[in-house]
Amino acid sequence: VFEELRKKEKLAVVGQMAAAIGHEIRNPLSSLKGFTQLQQERYPNTNDFYPIMIQEIDRINSIVNDLMYLGKPKAIELEKASIEEIIAYTLSITQQQAEMLGVTVETIIEGPLSQIDCDDKQLKQVFINLLKNAIEAMPEGGKIKIRVKVSKEHKMLISIEDEGCGIAEENILNIGEPFYTTKKDGTGLGLMVTNQIIKDHKGKFSIQSRLEKGTKVEVELPINQKLSK
Ligand code: ADP
Ligand code: MG
C-alpha cells in the first residue's frame, strides 16, 4: 500500500511539473525545429549536423510529450484502425535507429486480422516505445520478432521479442516505475506511458525476460469496444 502511495505521489509531482512547464517548452521548441529545417533547406550540404539537430529536438519533444501525457492523460478517441498499418508506421519511425545498431525486425502476421477500435495515435506511441526498448536492448545488433494474431477470445495479441540484454530478476519490479531507467540517456517514462495507454484501451500488458537472453513483451487489446463518439 505504501509502495502504491509513493508511486502516486511521485506521479502527482511529475504531473504538476509537466503541466507547469510542458507548454512553455513546446512552443519555443517547435519554432527552433522550424528554423532548423529552414536552414537545412537553404543551405543543403553545408552542415551535416542539421539532421542530428532535428533528431535531438524531436527527442526533447517526445520527452516533454511523455511528461505532459503522464500529468494529464488524454481521453482516448476510439476509431477503427488497421493494426498492420500502425505497426508499419512504427517500423518506419524506428528503422533508422535499428539500422544503425544492426538490428533487423521481422513481422509475422498470423491469419487474417480485423480492424480494431483504438486511438491509433496513442497505439503508435505504445509500439514505438516498445520497439525502441527492444532495439536499445541490442546495441550489438540482433533480431526482433513482432507477432500479431487474433486470439480465440477475439482479442488482438501483439508480441515483441528481442534477443537483447534482458532484465535482471531483481529489477523486474522496477519496470514501469516513474524515471526507472538503466540507460545512460533514458528517461524511464516510456513504459509508464505505454502502460497507461494500454490500460485506457482496456488492454493488458505483460513482460517476460531473461538476463542476457532477451525480452518478450505482450500486448492484448480488445478488438471491439464502444466507440466514444
Ligand atoms: P527508458 O527506455 O527511457 O529507459 P522505459 O520506461 O522505456 O524507459 O524502460 C525502463 C527500463 O526497462 C529500461 O531502462 C530497461 O532497463 C528496461 N527495459 C525495457 N524494455 C526492455 C527490453 N526490451 N530489454 C531489456 N530491458 C528493457
Ligand atoms: Mg524506452
Whether the predicted pLDDT of 26 surpasses 70: yes
CA–CA dist 16, 37 (Å, integer): 32
Atom of ligand 1 nearest to the CA of 171: 16
Whether the predicted pLDDT of 166 surpasses 90: yes
C-beta neighbour count of 208 within 10 angstroms: 14
Query: What's the pLDDT band for 1 if we cut at 50, 70, 90?
Result: low
- Cell 478517441 sits at which residue? 77
ipTM reported for the complex, 2 dp: 0.99
Whether the predicted pLDDT of 72 surpasses 80: no
Dist. CA 39 → ligand 2 center (Å): 31
Grid cell for residue 122: 496513442
Protein residue whose Cα sits closest to atom 7 of ligand 1: 190
Whether the predicted pLDDT of 229 surpasses 60: no
| Average pLDDT, rounded, for the chain | 90
**Which has the closest alpha carbon to 124: 171, 99, 158, 163?**
158
Atom of ligand 1 nearest to the CA of 166: 25
- pLDDT: is 15 or 115 the higher one? 115
- pLDDT: is 193 or 143 the higher one? 143
Dist. CA 115 → ligand 1 center (Å): 29
What is the number of the ligand closest to the CA of 191?
Answer: 1
Position 228 scores a pLDDT of: 53
Atom of ligand 1 nearest to the CA of 186: 3
Position 227 scores a pLDDT of: 62
**Which has the closest alpha carbon to 67: 196, 171, 207?**
196
Q: Hey, which residues does 77 pair with through a beta bridge?
A: none
Mutate to test the pocket of ligand 1, among 127, 191, 209 (most ligand atoms within 8 A of CB): 191
Which residues line ligand 1 at a C-beta cut-off of 6 Å? 129, 133-134, 137, 162, 164-167, 175, 180-183, 186-191, 215
pLDDT tens per residue across span 189-207: 899 899 989 999 999 999 9
Q: How many residues does the chain have?
A: 229
Position 46 scores a pLDDT of: 74
Q: What is the pTM of this model?
A: 0.85
What is the number of the ligand closest to the CA of 183?
Answer: 1
Position 185 scores a pLDDT of: 82
Dist. CA 181 → ligand 1 center (Å): 6
pLDDT tens per residue across span 77-127: 899 999 999 999 999 999 989 999 999 999 999 989 989 999 999 999 999
